[in-house]
Amino acid sequence: MSYSFKNITCDLEDNIMLITLNRPKVLNSLSSEVFSELKTVFEKMRDDQEVKVVVVTGAGDKAFAAGSDVSEMSQYSLVEAREFALQVNKAQQAIAHFPKPTIAAINGFAFGGGLEVAMCCDIRIASEKAKMGQPEINLGIIPGGGGTQRLSRLIGLGRAKELVYTGLPISAQRAYEIGLVNQVVPHEHLIGEALKLAKKIAEKSSVTLKFAKSAMDTGIDMDLENALKTEIELFAECFGTEDGKEGLSAFTEKRKPNFADK
């Protein structure tokens, strides 16, 4: 499948798609065109069997994405702002509901819309030089791409309110301490570490990974009793797959499983 875009680059190797936000001159700011491309690429990758794990990062050494394109946003009317937020939501939902594992490799500034995109990914790995925050309050607006919602679900309501109310950035280490990122690594090793983790995940059965992601993403918004029922159903589904049978057989036969992604 062909992947060619104006504002993002796509590199597929060993079943891992590396998507790079590629507007370094403007710190990879997220225009409406960028969001449109993100929506398109994630929709295309859903059915691409060659893609098992996706890593998202930013071009250059300064920014993952320094936020939405303020020069574009500053001209919006109320109606246009709502339309933009709805477009952003569609792109972010395409990422958040993508059935395969996703990793954000945060190589620098991840502010506003940039952090919101990173929060749509399953796992976040940050460079030690990275800084994160929701600075919209400083512009007289609030986050409109999930910053008031996904952030509180990840780090708790009190901490999220502090970040949104103050608009202050936090360091990668602080982000790790409050659970916003999974790892902090040396800047020069960021992409290598992200790809290393992606390769470990890509070795697993894509069918089983899909079940695992569905169980967690669906269950998190349910009460525990219904979430456990969902888990039971997806657990049982594994036994009807070729990879479920292969994995269990390999264990009893003391060999490495050979998953067929079926």
Given the residues 13, 37, 136, 188, the one annotated as active site: 136
Q: How far is CA 32 from CA 78, 103, 174, 236, 260, in A?
A: 16, 22, 30, 42, 38
Tokens of 258: 């050979």
43 is catalytic: no
Strands (E) in 15-99, as ranges, are 16-21, 53-58, 63-65
Whether residue 33 contacts residue 22, with contact meaning beta carbons closer than 8 Å, is answered with: no
Question: Please, what is the Cα angle at 203 between 197 and 209, to 5 degrees?
Answer: 85
Given the residues 43, 50, 116, 233, the one annotated as active site: 116
pTM for the model stands at 0.95
176 vs 184: CA distance, rounded Å: 7
What domains does the chain contain, in order, with CATH numbers? 8-202 (3.90.226.10), 206-252 (1.10.12.10)
Kindly tell me if the per-residue pLDDT of 214 is higher than 80. yes
Other beta carbons less than 10 A from residue 203's beta carbon: 14
- Local structure of residue 68 (DSSP, 8 states): B
Tally of helices (H runs) and strands (E runs) in the chain: 11, 10
Tokens 């225009």 found at: 31
pLDDT digits (tens, 9 = 90+) for 11-52: 999 999 999 999 999 999 999 999 999 999 999 999 999 999
Number of residues in the chain: 262
Tokens of 161: 């309110």
Whether residue 53 contacts residue 201, with contact meaning beta carbons closer than 8 Å, is answered with: yes
Q: Please tell me the predicted confidence (pLDDT) of residue 67.
A: 85
85 vs 145: CA distance, rounded Å: 6
User: Nearest-CA neighbor of 182 among 136, 130, 112?
Assistant: 130
136 is catalytic: yes
pLDDT digits (tens, 9 = 90+) for 72-118: 888 889 999 999 999 999 999 999 999 999 999 999 999 999 999 99
| Overall average pLDDT of the 65-74 stretch | 84
Residue 19 pairs in a beta bridge with 10, 56
Please give the backbone phi and psi of residue 222, each rounded to the nearest 5 degrees, phi first: -105, 165
Q: Please tell me the predicted confidence (pLDDT) of residue 39.
A: 97
Other beta carbons less than 10 A from residue 243's beta carbon: 20
Going by C-beta distance under 8 Å and a sequence separation of 6 or more, which residues neighbour residue 56? 19, 20, 21, 95, 102, 103, 104, 105, 117, 118, 121
